[in-house]
A and B are shown apart, each in its own frame.
Chain A
Amino acid sequence: MSHAFYVAVSYAATFATVAGLVLWVWLDHRARRRELEQLEAAGVRRRSARPAAKSGGQP
């Protein structure tokens, strides 16, 4: 096999691994955002995201 073959396979393997990593990070983000939106649609919210409760006796 020629030297060019080893160079090409090295760059292809690097590209494939990096592309897989980028894709995983992107898909993971999309899935988590969707999951959060579904929870919010079901009325499950973080305390900080809920409308502020009426304050008590303090003026």
Chain B
Amino acid sequence: MNEPSLVIRKFSDLANPTRFLALVARVWPWMAGMTICLFALGLYLAFATVGDYQQGDTVRIMYVHVPAAWLSMMGYSVMAVSALGTLVWRHPLADVSARAAAPIGACFTFVALVTGSLWGKPMWGTWWVWDARLTSVFVLFLMYLGLIALNRAMDDPTRAAKVGAVLILVGFINIPIIKFSVEWWNTLHQPASVIRLDGPTIDAEFLRPLLVMAAAFTLLFLTLHALAMRNEILRRRIAVLRRHAARAAGRPGGAA
């Protein structure tokens, strides 16, 4: 069998929630273990490296702020791909993925906003400014909350999946705005210093812990996302079982 068809087959296999649950049960302890190891290494590097010559110790806030900010955008991107999965490919787990990613993405966006504010006060002299980067990330946070509220407000899961997917895709316009806000507008927030076409401008002393922490945060996101998807599948199974039980109880002489 050639390689692409094998990949497609594996992807289709995962469309079966039971197979997905079995896969999650097998891999999550390894993912969690690797996440803990990466965090241990990342935190050691974060506090073993020297402080910045201008910022002093506050540079260490970067090791939680920047990965959280990356994940706030990655979380929304995962939701956008899932939304495409719902609308275009009608993958059975796409909506499960989008729903599971929303609270996790919202939490990382919250961390990015709070740690950014805590970094801003000693460095900029203010907790908050309404510049393009900060405002667009705040809008992202509100969008996460709006999507979570929408998911909970609608009873019909199929309709909620479609409406949610369309809204997610419309809201995706905010992601390039966040990324390029520091270049398009004059902001107090600094421009990109890691993901740049001409390579990182940050010293290796700070880049090493930052990349390890980014890997740890990303693995944490993937682990929590897989486990939250498992919970969402169970929630849907329970809803279906309750519906069947209610229908059976309504039939004359019917039992559960």
Contacts and interface: CB of A to CB of B under 8 A. Distances in A.
Interface of A: 1, 3-4, 6-7, 9-11, 13-14, 17-18, 20-22, 24-25, 28-29, 32-33, 35-36, 39, 42-46, 48
B85 interface: no
A33 B89 CA distance: 30
Contacts of B245: 39, 42, 44
A1 B104 CA distance: 31
A26 to B, nearest CB: 8
Interface string B107-127: 100110011001101100000
7 contacts: A10-B114, A10-B118, A14-B64, A18-B220, A24-B103, A32-B231, A36-B234
B61 A44 contact: no
Interface of B: 18, 56-58, 60-61, 64-65, 68, 103-104, 107, 110-111, 114-115, 118-119, 121-122, 220, 224, 227-228, 230-231, 234-235, 237-238, 240-242, 244-245, 255-256
B29 to A, nearest CB: 13
Chain B contact residues, majority secondary structure: helix
Nearest to A39: B241
A6 B231 contact: no
Contacts of B60: 7, 11
A25 B223 CA distance: 11
A17 B107 contact: yes
Contacts of A22: 224
A21 B224 contact: yes
Nearest to A28: B231
Contacts of B56: 3
Contacts of B65: 10
Nearest to A26: B227
A14 B240 CA distance: 37
B241 A44 contact: yes
B238 A6 contact: no
Given A6-B122, A10-B119, A32-B235, 16 more contacts: A3-B58, A6-B58, A6-B61, A6-B118, A10-B61, A10-B65, A20-B107, A21-B103, A25-B227, A25-B228, A29-B231, A32-B238, A36-B238, A39-B241, A43-B256, A44-B242
The 7 closest A-B pairs by CB, nearest first: A32-B234, A10-B115, A14-B64, A44-B245, A10-B61, A3-B57, A10-B118
Given A13-B111, A21-B103, A21-B104, A29 B118 contact: no
B241 A46 contact: yes
A9 B122 CA distance: 13
